[in-house]
Structure 1
């Protein structure tokens, strides 16, 4: 009986050690969110959003564009750092969804932005396709 208890204790200790090793050294399964990106000048922001609006059922609201332009023009934003600009609500294929918007700001000969849109994968993929088509139209 004593050998049986020692065997059970050994199996429990071994199982606990395996679980601990897997927990400590296991890979993080956290996925990187899907994002679409576009480059634009601050003064061209309304035109850029007009192009992006073609992806959605309704255009992106002028109030959202004005808010984003005001936030992106803030001189306190550090250059080349990613800054959150908030969210915008859009309608994609008949369903409302929210995009999170981030930007990198560069101030050389004006204010230049890299805009990043994060959201549901199908929305981000459609937005990315529109951005690629826009770049092709521009010959970039």
Structure 2
């Protein structure tokens, strides 16, 4: 009788372990609901990188997408900002919002930047805006990198 009781106790413990394992690792089967409204809240972005002395050239490439270029004074201010040695490196810093004309309509381009200081100053710019603007910028940036052979 002791053997039979021990066997039943073993089966109960074993089935409890299986049930607990299934419960703990089986929660992945919970359906994920895709919310299309969330997609509209996430801005689209692209990026371009440049050495400190190449920032005007990078913004000239960006400006080719718009009907009028980003002001030279703004580009100079960005270059001066990036040369500040007190900036935290590898942290996305907000640069500003630029009102631009894209295909005849006004829109806003938001620019953020990360600064790296290894063998000189290197800046990674994030360009955030409307989907069609970002896609056009991305296409132009890819063409620019192809021209450079990168």
Smaller-chain TM-score bracket:
0.7 to 0.9
Give the stretch that moved more between structures: 66-75 or 116-125.
Answer: 66-75
Q: Distance in 1 between matches of 2:75 and 2:121?
A: 16
Deviation at 1:75, TM superposition (A): 1.8
- 8 Å Cα contact 1:81/1:105 also seen in 2: yes
Deviation at 1:32, TM superposition (A): 2.9
TM-score by length of 1: 0.76
Alignment equivalent of 2:130, drawn from 93, 96, 120: 120
Highest CA radius of gyration, 1 or 2?
2
Q: Which runs of 5+ in 2 are unaligned?
A: 1-32
- 8 Å Cα contact 1:72/1:85 also seen in 2: no
In structure 1, the residue matched to 2:52 is: 42
In structure 1, the residue matched to 2:89 is: 79
TM-score by length of 2: 0.71
Matched, 1:110 2:112: no
Aligned length: 116
| Runs of 4+ in structure 1 over 4 Å off | none
In structure 1, the residue matched to 2:42 is: 32
Q: Which runs of 5+ in 1 are unaligned?
A: 1-25
